[in-house]
Every structure is written in structure tokens, then in C-alpha cells.
Amino acid sequence: MTSPPPPWQGVAIGPPLAGGPLVDPDDPLAAEPAVETFTQAISHDLRAPLRAIEGYAQALVEDFGECLPPEAHEFVRRIRQARRTAEERVEALVGLTRVGRGALQASPIDLAPLARRILADLARAEPARRVATRVADGLPVVGDPALLGIALENLLTNAWKFTRGVPSPLISVGSTRADRSAIISVCDNGVGFDMRHAHRLGVPFQRLHASEAFEGLGMGLASARRIVERHGGRLWAESAPGEGATFHMSLPAGSVP
């Protein structure tokens, strides 16, 4: 299946209806621009307290470290980790709100060379891994090259991440046409997920896998989702536990040169 699912399935908000646009009640960034203003204010107001927490934790270890039992050192480590996590989440929220700002600089773009370059960069970052990749020739769309690059990189990075531990990892990128849309599909044979929880994908900080097993905040899909929606498209997924996942994004179709 590559055609967009009904509005209540997948990771995307459905298309506008006669009664008004659908709003995902789980998306804390759905009510813009008020949320953007709130996020910027929170980011500004939290930076100083977060720095103070780190400073006091460091001072505690430096000044009293020899007196602290091992359990206390572990508590300090957890405090510092919690501080880092809070800071990462604030920065991720700020970055996500920026995706929704500014005019789209739309132009014809072939996503195939971009996909190959992203996969090559991922391979260079982890030279010990051997991941087979397949990218179709010619993935023409019309959109903002910078934003679509972010969306594609997020999808491919997720595919790369969730194929860790697979005996013969494979990532493929292809395209089909549906009316005037191009459906770009990123497929992997990784750990997959239960489609009963697909509605949580693309929502900031919602994850389907334990953070101990796979790093991340769930912001990559949230960012990709918002970018695709800014182009008038949708992002949705197909998967099953242990059988990999395929993410589809519908975008304005381009023409092959």
C-alpha cells in the first residue's frame, strides 16, 4: 500500500475537512504561533537554571567527591544526565518550531542524489557497519530543497538506526506516482513496530522503543512530518514488529529531466 491512509491512521494529520482542519490533540506544537512564542520563552528562561544545576553538581563532586559514597556519585550522575536531557528537549522544541517559519523556497529537485549522499555520510560515520542500500534512479519532486533535505535525512537516519543488530541490514528509497503527487518511500528491514501505536509517531517526544536500546527524542519524525505537511503532503508508515518499516511521504511531483 502506498496511497495515503485515512486521517486516523499513520503519523500524519489528515487533510482539511469541510468543518475545518484536523488537529492532533497529542501534538504540543499544533496551536501556533502561540506555542512558538511559549517555546522561545521557556527556552530562554530555562537555560540559566539548567546551567546552575550542572554547576552545582560539578561543584559537589569537585569539593566533596572524596566524602561521597558510591550511591551519591550515582545520584549526581543521574542529576547531570537529567539536566542534559532537559536541555536537549528544549533545543529540539525550538528547532521544531523553526521548521514552521518562513516562506517555502520551492523548486524542482531530484531526491535521489541527496539520498545517496546522506547514506554515504551515515556509512562514513559508522565504518564498522555493513548496510546494503538501494536508491531508485530519479526521485523528482517540487519543494524547498533545504527542508526536504532535513526530512529525508531524518527518515534515513531512523532507518539506519533501527537496522542495528539486523544480520543483513537493507535500506531502500523509491518512488511511485499518485495523481499529481510523488510518494517517496524509505524502507528498512529493521526492528519495526506495532502499527497499533503508529499514531504516536511524529509527535514530539513520543517513542516506540526504549531509549536504552535506541537513542533519540522522537523529534526526527516530528520534524519530517511538519516539513511534509508544509508542502501540502502527508507522512505515514507501514510496519510490523521484527519486519522492518516503510515511511511514505507524499510531495508535489516533479518531472524527470
Question: Are both 117 and 79 inside the same structural domain?
Answer: no
Same structural domain for residues 148 and 182?
Answer: yes
Strands (DSSP E) along 180-244, which ranges?
A: 181-188, 235-239
Yes or no: say if 216 and 223 are a contact pair by the CB < 8 Å rule.
Answer: no
Whether residue 115 is found in the same domain as residue 224: yes
Cut 0.75: pTM above it: no
Whether residues 143 and 183 share a domain: the answer is yes
pLDDT digits (tens, 9 = 90+) for 111-132: 999 999 999 999 988 899 999 9
Q: Judging by DSSP bridges, how do beta strands 132-135 and 170-178 pair with one another?
A: parallel
Cβ(174)–Cβ(229) under 8 Å? no
Higher per-residue confidence, 15 vs 138: 138
Q: How does pLDDT run across 29-83, given as a tens digit for each residue?
A: 444 455 556 566 666 667 788 888 889 898 999 999 888 898 998 989 888 888 8
H or E segment at 173? strand 170-178
Per-residue exposure over 204-239, b if at least 16 CB sit within 10 Å of its own CB, e if not: bebbbeeeeebebbbbbbbbbbbbbbbbebbbbbbb
Average model confidence (pLDDT) for the chain?
76
Cell numbers 499514531: residue? 199
pLDDT band at 89 (very low <50, low <70, confident <90, very high): low
With a pLDDT cut of 70, the percent of the chain lying above it is 66
Q: How many domains does the chain have?
A: 2
Average pLDDT over residues 183-202: 77
